[in-house]
Amino acid sequence: MTLQEILAQENISEKIKLIKQARKTPLPDVDQLRKDWDPMLHDVMDKEKRPDEIKVIKPEERDPLTNKIIKIAVTKEEPVNRIPLPLEQDIVNIHTAFTVGTEPNLTCETDDDKEKELFKVVKTIDRKNKIKYHNKRIVRSWLAETEVAEYWYTVEDKSFWKLILNKVKSAFGVKANATRKFKCAIWSPFRGDVLYPFFDDVNDYKGLGREYKVKQTDGTVVNYFQFVDDMHVYLWVQNGADWKDADKHPFRHNFPKNPTIYSPRPESLCAKIRPIRNRLETILSNYGDCIDYNFFPKLVAIGEVTGNNPKAARGGMVKVENGGDLKYLSWQQTPEAAKLEIDTLTERVYSLTNTPRISFENLQGLGNAFSGVSFKYAFMGAHMAVEMHAETLGEHLQRRYNFLVSAIGSVNTAYADAAETIDIDVQIVPYMIDSVSEKIKDASDAVGSGIASRKTGIILAGLVEEDDIETEIDAIEADEAKKNEYSNYPIGGNEE
């Protein structure tokens, strides 16, 4: 059944049912994903799976004749060690930093001045919406929750376009005739959203459903179901067993393209390390118990001990008879086996996910100038992982900017023509430590050897923003002209 046929149904409950059934992949197991993410929900913290020890204070007493219990045993729970490891959070955060810690590179190769200005508008909207932080939230959700979506909408704001056009310094007389600003919301399972993407028979994305709950001021919880397609935004509210239209819905969003961008993945980044992490937590917790039990030495008495006078000598004196002897019980079992397993499993966790272990202990032996090529070699695995993530995230970001370009043209008609021809490319740039001196030397060598232009050299050096490159070239040429002019001035005069 096509989306048009589903939305044409008169019964809203039937519409929602068909939209849910159209989902082609299973819903994420949110409980398990949240359990992996939150270390306080791990198995090692579960008293049913890792029970506390029962310590007997007083044993039970029985009648010697009837063998009936006279007094029940007195016991108390003795807490065991519980050491959860937030490995999933650490790994996902490292991958997020390597993927979008350096902002994705936006490029627009054009000689058209109107397109250049539209490109500046797009980047200004990025800054106004703090998209660099949105990118981190989106990547983190995608890696940990297996799916994420962003939804673009507009709200009334008469000053937004005045600020935008003042920022880009419009040279084409574009007036702030638009009165609405762009905003972006993120939808994901941990945020309480159940997502239902709709793809047609040829796997083209047609719309996105979102089921969520809202707690009212009186404490009641209301269920909502939202659906966004290429033209409309539908919002239905549950009324008992039925559904009805929410106020002022459906409505046209007036964007040329669907304002939702949805990205899934088959499993979370850390799904494969779950059994290893469980084993690590068990070993560390058991080892902690073992240390607690064996920290203080235990004294073993053999034979008959008749007295103990600790004041008789500096170390105390114990009197034994009939061949008695006292020995400290030594712990023959070495902790090396446990240490070996802990180190091996920890290394396995990070290697399985291509995650570098970034800590002072792991990096302190790499020297003071750990940057440039050495950084790339050391973290090649992380960069390869970023390239794999870019298969999905690169498309996600590209769809976002394709939408934004078309949306700007619809909200501010002064850019309508440029929005149809502009071509913005998005490139994910893996995070790396940059050495400014190395970049300047590489740029200087490239320009000096004739294999790169001055403009390319400035880009390689990375000292100025891309928008200011032409201005920087003009400033360099002006400085050179002034320097040449000074060099032609006569110094001193002819002495007679």
Task: Report the range of poorest mean pLDDT among 142-146, 237-241, 471-475.
Answer: 471-475
Q: What is the DSSP letter of 52?
A: P
Task: Report the range of poorest mean pLDDT among 16-25, 261-270, 291-300.
Answer: 291-300
The distance of Cα 161 from the centroid of its chain, to the nearest Å, equals: 31
Name the residue with higher pLDDT: 250 or 325. Answer: 250
Q: Would you say residue 211 has pLDDT above 90?
A: yes
Residues 331, 474: one domain? no
Whole-angstrom Cα distance, residue 367 to residue 369?
6
Kindly report the average pLDDT of the chain as a whole number: 84
Residues 6+ apart with CB under 8 A from 90: 355
Name the residue with higher pLDDT: 465 or 101. Answer: 101
List, for residues 104-137, the tens digit of each pLDDT value: 999 998 888 889 889 988 998 898 889 999 999 9
List, for residues 413-462, the tens digit of each pLDDT value: 888 899 999 999 999 998 876 655 556 667 677 777 777 777 777 776 66
Q: Would you say residue 19 has pLDDT above 90?
A: yes
Kindly report the length of the chain.
496
The two three-digit tokens of residue 258, written as one number: 């669907």
Residues 300, 158: one domain? no
The distance of Cα 18 from the centroid of its chain, to the nearest Å, equals: 32
Name the residue with higher pLDDT: 212 or 59. Answer: 212
Residue at a domain's end among 300, 335, 352: 352
Residues 342, 414: one domain? no
Whole-angstrom Cα distance, residue 417 to residue 115?
9
Whole-angstrom Cα distance, residue 317 to residue 480?
93
Q: Label the pairing between strands 147-156 and 180-187.
A: antiparallel
Residues 161, 139: one domain? yes
Residues 284, 344: one domain? yes
Asked, for residue 495, whether it belongs to a domain, the answer is: no
Asked, for residue 373, whether it belongs to a domain, the answer is: no
Peptide bond into 297 cis (omega under 30): no
Q: What is the DSSP letter of 212?
A: E
Q: 354: alpha, beta or left, given left = phi > 0 and alpha = psi -120 to 50?
A: left
Asked, for residue 368, whether it belongs to a domain, the answer is: no
Q: Would you say residue 86 has pLDDT above 60?
A: yes
Task: Give phi and psi for 207, each to the nearest 5.
Answer: 180, 175
Handedness of CA 391, 394, 398, 404 (dihedral sign): positive
CB of 85 within 8 A of CB of 143?
no
Instruction: Name residue 281's amino acid.
Output: E
Domain count, the chain: 4
pLDDT > 90 fraction of the chain, expressed in percent and rounded: 48
Instruction: Dump the DSSP string for 412-466.
Output: SGGGHHHHHH---EEE--------HHHHHHHHHHHHHTTSS-HHHHHHHHT-S-G
Q: Per-residue confidence at 77, pLDDT binned at 50, 70, 90? A: confident
Residue 365 is predicted with a pLDDT of 55
HSE of 483, CA atoms in CB hemisphere, 13 A: 6
Whole-angstrom Cα distance, residue 417 to residue 178?
16
Whole-angstrom Cα distance, residue 328 to residue 331?
9
Q: Would you say residue 264 has pLDDT above 90?
A: yes
Whole-angstrom Cα distance, residue 372 to residue 374?
6
Residues 6+ apart with CB under 8 A from 78: 52, 53, 54, 55
List strand residue ranges (DSSP E) for 216-331, in order.
221-228, 232-239, 242-245, 251-252, 260-264, 298-309, 317-329
CB of 269 within 8 A of CB of 91?
yes
Residues 327, 420: one domain? no
Asked, for residue 375, whether it belongs to a domain, the answer is: no
Rounded to an integer, the average pLDDT of 141-162 is: 90
Handedness of CA 167, 168, 173, 174 (dihedral sign): negative
Whole-angstrom Cα distance, residue 124 to residue 168?
8
Residues 61, 91: one domain? no
Q: Per-residue confidence at 89, pLDDT binned at 50, 70, 90? A: very high
Distances (CA, A) of 451 to 436, 445, 447, 455, 480: 21, 9, 6, 12, 21
Q: Where are the alpha helices (DSSP H) in 112-249?
A: 113-128, 131-145, 160-168
Residue 257 is predicted with a pLDDT of 94
Sole residue written with tokens 């937590």: 281
Residues 213, 299: one domain? no
Give CB contacts under 8 A, 24+ apart, made by 243-246: 243/12, 243/13, 243/16, 244/12, 245/12
List, for residues 362-377, the tens digit of each pLDDT value: 655 555 555 556 666 7
Instruction: Name residue 184's amino acid.
Output: C
Residues 125, 222: one domain? yes
> Closest Cα partner for 454 from 469, 466, 467, 436?
469
Q: Per-residue confidence at 63, pLDDT binned at 50, 70, 90? A: confident
CB of 39 within 8 A of CB of 284?
no
Rounded to an integer, the average pLDDT of 196-214 is: 95
3-state secondary structure 336-388: HHHHHHHHHHHHHHHHHCCCCCCCHHHHHHHCCCCCHHHHHHHCHHHHHHHHH
Domain of residue 481 covers: 435-487
Asked, for residue 212, whether it belongs to a domain, the answer is: yes
pTM of the model: 0.81
The two three-digit tokens of residue 200, written as one number: 């047609």
pLDDT > 70 fraction of the chain, expressed in percent and rounded: 82
Name the residue with higher pLDDT: 468 or 179. Answer: 179
Asked, for residue 493, whether it belongs to a domain, the answer is: no
Residues 421, 451: one domain? no
CB of 375 within 8 A of CB of 432?
yes
Asked, for residue 26, whether it belongs to a domain, the answer is: yes
List, for residues 294-320, the tens digit of each pLDDT value: 777 777 777 776 666 555 445 566 677
Sole residue written with tokens 């997020």: 96
Residue at a domain's end among 406, 427, 448: 427
Residues 6+ apart with CB under 8 A from 444: 457
The two three-digit tokens of residue 47, written as one number: 């008293």
Whole-angstrom Cα distance, residue 324 to residue 301?
7
Asked, for residue 173, whether it belongs to a domain, the answer is: yes
Residues 217, 171: one domain? yes
Residue 496 is predicted with a pLDDT of 44
Residues 18, 112: one domain? yes
Q: Per-residue confidence at 495, pLDDT binned at 50, 70, 90? A: very low
